[in-house]
């Protein structure tokens, strides 16, 4: 006969399940609280750099975009490249000591955080201020995730370790923060472009489904801003920049392939390009002379590497 649980055993089982649910909930709540506390500390640490006072006047100067690139965005991107390369080597069994590699990533995140924290961002450029805080927050959380992964490396295969890292709550929140920071940086570029050329909008909110016919008529800085939003929505931590994906989308449309395949929306083209790994770093540089000879862009190194 099937043995039934006693009342005591039933209560014990229910109690254990309740404790397990509470523990999981407390962990994610702790990540959220820790993330919020980190943000509060970052605000206090960087407030003196912009004078500590809010300013209703906003202005996006090219020199501010360039300075931000070198002092904040570049350190973050250097770390992100280290992260993607390390996880690729782990997933392809190219590393003999994953734990040490993750400890190096955690150390690198702290170093890049310290570099980007020192940058002075003008209070008249709120999008850049927000971007700095978000990128710093992302670096902090990436470092925490790497440190946690290093502690689990002995007990897990490289493949399982990578899967665990990509599901880690600190990593996921770090991706969200960093990609929001990147999005705001590209938004600031659009703001600057609008101040130089009144025909370029200083705001552009894409509809949930953006038709390719509408996409083709947009200025390049607006396209890049929309693609940066797609990076955030899709949680893309990749080696290429938003403008590389922009260029591949425009190449795909210009070649007639989108029309042949009956594609009519931006999302469908992006899905195809990402799923087939058709985007590479440098795609924008290769196509810029043909596709964007007269487009207005700030003088940033990743737009003008020469």
Provide the residue range defining the domain that includes 228: 204-291
Q: Is residue 124 part of a domain?
A: yes
pLDDT tens across 87-104, in order? 999 999 898 899 999 999
| 55: confidence class by pLDDT, cuts 50, 70, 90 | very low
Q: Is the pLDDT assigned to residue 2 strictly greater than 50? A: no
Q: Is the pLDDT assigned to residue 24 strictly greater than 60? A: no
d(CA 278, CA 295): 24
Q: Is the pLDDT assigned to residue 269 strictly greater than 80? A: yes
Alpha helices, H only, the chain: 7-47, 62-68, 74-91, 98-117, 126-152, 158-167, 169-196, 212-215, 220-234, 242-254, 257-260, 266-275, 283-291
Instruction: Examine the domain organization and report whether 214 and 196 are in the same domain.
Output: no
d(CA 13, CA 269): 50
Instruction: Examine the domain organization and report whether 157 and 252 are in the same domain.
Output: no
Instruction: Examine the domain organization and report whether 194 and 100 are in the same domain.
Output: yes
Average pLDDT over residues 102-107: 97
Cα 66–Cα 36–Cα 110 angle in degrees, nearest 5: 55
State residue 6's pLDDT score. Answer: 67
Domain total in the chain? 2
Q: Give 281 or 55, the one with higher predicted confidence.
A: 281
Instruction: Examine the domain organization and report whether 85 and 217 are in the same domain.
Output: no
Instruction: Examine the domain organization and report whether 130 and 245 are in the same domain.
Output: no
Nearest to 71 by CA among 185, 194, 223: 185
Instruction: Examine the domain organization and report whether 190 and 223 are in the same domain.
Output: no
Q: Is the pLDDT assigned to residue 80 strictly greater than 80? A: yes
Q: Is the pLDDT assigned to residue 36 strictly greater than 70? A: no
pLDDT tens across 288-302, in order? 999 999 999 999 999
Instruction: Examine the domain organization and report whether 263 and 173 are in the same domain.
Output: no
Percent of the chain with pLDDT over 70: 81
Q: Is residue 157 part of a domain?
A: yes
Please name every residue paired with 7 in a beta bridge, in sequence order, or none if there are none. none
State residue 96's pLDDT score. Answer: 87
The residue out of 182, 201, 220 marking a domain boundary is 201
Instruction: Examine the domain organization and report whether 104 and 236 are in the same domain.
Output: no
The residue out of 184, 201, 218 marking a domain boundary is 201
State residue 158's pLDDT score. Answer: 87
The residue out of 201, 232, 247 marking a domain boundary is 201
pLDDT tens across 199-233, in order? 999 999 888 899 999 999 999 999 999 999 999 99
Reported pTM: 0.83
Q: Is the pLDDT assigned to residue 41 strictly greater than 60? A: no
Looking at the chain, how many residues does it have? 306
Instruction: Examine the domain organization and report whether 195 and 215 are in the same domain.
Output: no
Instruction: Examine the domain organization and report whether 196 and 263 are in the same domain.
Output: no
Q: Is residue 8 part of a domain?
A: no
Q: Is residue 213 part of a domain?
A: yes
pLDDT tens across 176-206, in order? 999 999 999 999 999 999 999 999 999 998 8
Instruction: Examine the domain organization and report whether 283 and 170 are in the same domain.
Output: no
Instruction: Examine the domain organization and report whether 105 and 220 are in the same domain.
Output: no
């Amino acid at each position: 006969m099937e043995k039934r649980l006693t009342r005591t055993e039933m209560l014990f089982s229910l109690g254990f399940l309740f404790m397990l649910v509470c523990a999981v909930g407390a962990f994610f709540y702790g990540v959220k609280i820790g993330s919020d506390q980190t943000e509060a500390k970052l605000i206090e640490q960087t407030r003196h750099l912009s004078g500590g006072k809010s300013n209703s006047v906003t202005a996006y100067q090219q020199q501010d975009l360039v300075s931000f690139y070198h002092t904040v965005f570049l350190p973050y991107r250097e770390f992100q490249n280290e992260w993607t390369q390390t996880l690729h080597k782990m997933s392809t069994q190219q590393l003999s000591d994953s734990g040490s590699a993750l400890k190096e990533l955690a150390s690198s995140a702290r170093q890049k955080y310290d570099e980007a924290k020192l940058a002075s961002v003008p209070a008249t450029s709120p999008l850049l201020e927000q971007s700095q805080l978000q990128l710093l927050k992302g670096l902090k959380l990436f470092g925490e995730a790497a440190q946690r992964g290093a502690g689990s490396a002995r007990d897990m295969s490289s493949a399982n370790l990578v899967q665990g890292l990509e599901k880690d709550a600190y990593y996921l929140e770090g991706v969200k923060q960093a990609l929001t920071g990147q999005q705001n940086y590209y938004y600031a570029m659009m703001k600057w472009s609008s101040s130089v050329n009144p025909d370029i909008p200083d705001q552009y909110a894409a509809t949930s489904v953006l038709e390719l016919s509408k996409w083709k008529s947009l200025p390049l800085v607006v396209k890049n801003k929309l693609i940066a939003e797609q990076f955030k929505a899709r949680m893309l931590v990749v080696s290429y920049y938003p403008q590389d994906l922009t260029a591949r989308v425009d190449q795909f449309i210009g070649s007639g392939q989108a029309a042949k395949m009956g594609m009519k929306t931006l999302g469908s083209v992006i899905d195809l390009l990402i799923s087939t790994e058709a985007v590479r770093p440098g795609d924008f540089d290769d196509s810029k002379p043909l596709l964007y000879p007269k487009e207005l862009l700030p003088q940033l190194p990743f737009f003008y590497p020469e």
